[in-house]
Structure 1
Amino acid sequence: MILGIDAGNYETKISTQEGVHKFRSLLGEWRDRNFNSVYGNDMEYVYQGRMGFAGDIVEHECEFIRERFGDTKAHEDAKLRILLAVHQYSNDKENDIVVGQPIKTHTPDQKETIKKMLIGSHKLTVNGETKTFNIRNIDVAPEGAIAYWAYEGLEQHIRFIDIGSGTINFASVHKGRFVDRDSFTVDYGVNSVKALDFNSLAAAIIAESSKRWKQDDPVRVCGGVAEEVINNLSTHYRNCEVIKPWDLHPVYTNAIGCFELARVLYERK
């Protein structure tokens, strides 16, 4: 099965041929409970002999909550989020996936680390259901820039702002080619600041991006709060719009972009 997965710090988003899904990226310790029912996206998992909770249940039942923020997904928590996504939303034993990595750390060594920790066979139990599945192919895409694969506009030169929970990615694409010189990541996001003010967030985004981008550049915005900041961003960028691929919420843009790229890479293999 082909999947696009955006293992965000706050939520993990998944795109497949059947549609999109998401769950909280929270991870926590396992413990015995007197009342063992699960709700919605609650997950009790067993992986490589390790037991734990994931999703919404963590916020209610765990003492040691892991919601790891940072500018890389090359770590064990991100690996577990991705494997949980495959377990929950793939109906095949063989899987081909594309996942995201912030632009700042989208380097050959970081990409190779992510590929090595995910490629191959995995046995995972979630809420009592054990699945053994194989990740047959994997590629790692730069977050923000992968939005290009979910975008249907015809501009030859375009900028993308991907507002995440722990990072904000600024990506430039010219005639379908990623322009590294004008692309970058800042190490803060919606959930990594002590007090969130959308006016101040938009002002910070403009201050960062205007060092390299022009006011008349086509700018497309995605991420969970894209619609909350678009009016403020439009005071500076004259051609600024929110991306809603498949007519869905902009929070799914990276996952959909990963899925669309995965289709190109893997559908004919």
Structure 2
Amino acid sequence: MTITGQRNGLQPAEPGEEKRPEAPEDSEGAADFFRAIGKMIKLLRERKGLTQKEFGQLIGYGEDQVSSLERGRRTLHPDMLEIVDRVLDAGGLLLALKPDLEAAKSRARVRHPAWFRDFVRLEAEAVELHGYSTHFIPGLLQTEQHARALYYMRRPLLAEQTIEERVMARLARQTILAKWPFPEFSWIIEEAVLRRPIGGWDVHHGQLEQLIRIGRQRNVSLQVMPMDRAEHAGMGGPFTLITPKGRGQVGYVEAQNISRLCTVAEEVRILASQYGLLRAQALTPPESTALIQKMLGER
């Protein structure tokens, strides 16, 4: 099947486009603001007598996510400020920053590779997102340590500054998981992906814990495709289906830093049909959680 796109808002990358130099991005002011909020949250958390892990459990974040938030590497979705303000007994102090946070997020432009930007724009508008992954943990589900390990092993090698920018960009995308009203998410991940200890076993352990944590969200369905299946509808490779608000569903396919958006109705229908079959062939969400928990107990 040929995946096609349009070069107008749904613009696919051309081969080699990722190698073009990117324009300087003026996000220093926004980054300083995010760091300031992080320091404020850390101070309020410590005054409350909460550890990062305890605080994370109260707001649905992992310990590493809280650490990233307090260092300004991760930004809160503005709608999360009300929850954090209440949990930390901030008395409206954090909630008062909501307009400023929204403005800072609109000013901040994170560095995504050129070939990936169209997908990120659609993802941010999604009311539904469904993904099938064959080689890696989907970006929206990755821990900071896992994402950094992936970028460090990239070939050709990335500069240290580029790695940090890419990690921050990936974490910034994850604010969609807390956006209200909640988008509907589902992912099917190959079992082999979950058995590969990217970054070492400590990093991998944290990644598996995050999958369980996110998989418990009421707007998320997480399934594992076991390696012993005799029939498999996804042999054509990974893909994502996105439904932006007020628009029709589109498909997205990526390989070797070349991406394509699929907007032709019949081709999107075929991808959606394949995804339906994959969901039927994969383990159920409870079975998938049980398998991941078993993996955690193996080390």
Provide the TM-score with structure 1 as the length reference: 0.27
Larger Rg: 2
Q: TM-score, normalised by structure 2?
A: 0.25
